[in-house]
Amino acid sequence: MPATDAAPEGPLTGLLVVGIEQAVAAPLATRHLADLGARVIKVERPGGDFARGYDRTVHGLSSHFVWLNRGKESVELDLKSAEGAATLERLLARADVVVQNLAPAAAQRLGVDAAALVGRFPELVACDISGYGSGGPYSDRKAYDLLIQCEAGLVSVTGTPDEPVKAGISVADIAAGMYAYSGVLAALHQRRRTGRGQALEVSMLEALGEWMGYPYFFARYGGTAPARAGASHSTIAPYGPVPVGSGETVNLGLQNEREWERFCAVVLRRPELADDPRFAGNAARVAHRAELDAQIAAVFAGLDLAEVERRLETAGIAHARQRDMAEFAEHPQLVARDRWREVATEAGPVRALLPPVTAPWSAGMGAVPASGEHTAAVLAWLAADPAEGSGAAPAPGGPGRTMGTAGDGAGRNGRSHA
């Protein structure tokens, strides 16, 4: 039985997505499609996606894998074998969407790069995800998240004045996965109008490069890159973490002179600082950041968290507690908004956060599959209609494949979707 059969219908119900995927970027894109109701068949190498082995922290399962693969069906195929390639071709003949993040040369050898797929199946939306994109001197380079963070300049602007650091999450992979996701949705919308599929390409470098827009423009036209400022802000002060007397850390964010004056009067209870020439205007405060931070730290060191937060609220100053992951997991706002759900895994249920878009439909939140869990069921499904799985692309509107005319609302696998 498909992993999504019991899930509430979402806007992509009836669409079949095939993910020839591994690691982070492509699995993130297809998991979002699964959350929206698409049936997602994850094609894994024999032994499974190598991300299953990243760690064993979630009841013995990989934290990355559990995060990225709920709501999918897992099929193990050896794509280098004639049998595996033939089975994949039958899957592709039924698919509406294919997302793959194999190495570009490997994808081309297997004939699963987006251009080749759309050449064989003109109604298909196919998306390639790679480190650097096709063409150019870097196209065949291995691309891991840290390496892309370095190539895109992110590491150069992140960290402290003394030490650059990478982001603590796989931000390049996540950027690529999200652009693949949005690109697929746009191509599906276009297919509803034209009946034609699209070959899409997303590179990690270009995806993360888009997110680097602010430091790029700042450096390109300002002459110098934004300074690394740790958890503070390179061009705004006061802005960032301040320890309080009870041991916690509060982060501040001030944006204008009115807030600065209220901060001095209500929070620090030192209104004279607002007129101190060292701190008169944001540029002066940034130039004298060390002296400013010392003034604030001296006051906060004598207060507990409750009093600091009370004064900040009274003054209308934006602030946040610096929470660790355990504190985030019990965040009162997420609890109040009922944002946590249980997701099934082969090792037992886990608690997972709902997707961030609140909408009239319910997110699928299907089970995380065991490696190859659905291989037999999917092979039986393909065998039930050999003609459909022959690898040839039936004409639009043919049996089991009703998408293809402008305004038509059914997927290529024959189930209507909203």
Q: Which amino acid is at 151?
A: E
CA–CA separation, 341 and 353 (whole Å): 6
Between strands 350-353 and 340-343, the pairing is antiparallel
pLDDT tens readout for residues 341-372 = 999 999 999 999 999 999 998 899 999 999 99
Q: What are the distances in angstroms from CA 342 to CA 4, 347, 366?
A: 15, 13, 9
Architecture of the domain spanning 16-212+335-383: 3-Layer(aba) Sandwich (3.40)
Give me the pLDDT at residue 269, please: 97
Closest CA to 106 of 170, 177, 21: 21
- For the chain, the straight-line distance linking the first and the last C-alpha, in angstroms and rounded, comes to 21
Question: What would the mean pLDDT of 295-311 be, rounded to a whole number?
Answer: 96
Mean pLDDT of the chain: 90
- CB hemisphere CA count around 113 (13 angstroms): 14
CA 45 to chain centre: 23
Helices (H), 195-337: 204-211, 213-222, 257-262, 282-287, 289-300, 305-315, 325-329, 332-336
Domain ranges of the chain: 16-212+335-383, 239-321
- pLDDT band at residue 405, thresholds of 50, 70 and 90? very low
* 3-state SS class at 128: strand
pLDDT tens readout for residues 69-123 = 999 999 999 999 999 999 999 999 999 999 999 999 999 999 999 999 999 999 9
The two tokens of residue 162 are: 């003394």
Q: One fold for both 16-212+335-383 and 239-321? A: no
319 has pLDDT over 70: yes
229 has pLDDT over 50: yes
Give me the pLDDT at residue 231, please: 84
Longest dimension (CA), the chain: 83
Question: What would the mean pLDDT of 51-68 be, rounded to a whole number?
Answer: 96
CA–CA separation, 228 and 153 (whole Å): 12
Helices (H), 12-139: 25-35, 63-68, 82-94, 104-110, 114-120
Question: What would the mean pLDDT of 310-331 be, rounded to a whole number?
Answer: 95
Q: Which amino acid is at 358?
A: T
CA–CA separation, 404 and 414 (whole Å): 11
CA–CA separation, 246 and 231 (whole Å): 20
CA–CA separation, 231 and 247 (whole Å): 17
Helices (H), 98-250: 104-110, 114-120, 145-151, 171-194, 204-211, 213-222
- pLDDT band at residue 410, thresholds of 50, 70 and 90? very low
Give me the pLDDT at residue 386, please: 62
Give me the pLDDT at residue 412, please: 58
CA–CA separation, 120 and 344 (whole Å): 37
pLDDT tens readout for residues 126-164 = 999 999 999 999 999 999 999 999 999 999 999 999 999
pLDDT tens readout for residues 173-193 = 999 999 999 999 999 999 999
Between strands 39-44 and 72-76, the pairing is parallel
CA–CA separation, 239 and 252 (whole Å): 5
Helices 171-194 and 25-35: angle between axes, nearest 10 degrees? 50
pLDDT tens readout for residues 80-90 = 999 999 999 99
Is 0.85 topped by the overall pTM? Answer: yes
Give me the pLDDT at residue 397, please: 29
Domain 239-321 has CATH 3.30.1540.10: yes
Contacts of 136 (CB under 8 A, 6+ apart): none
CA–CA separation, 59 and 349 (whole Å): 9
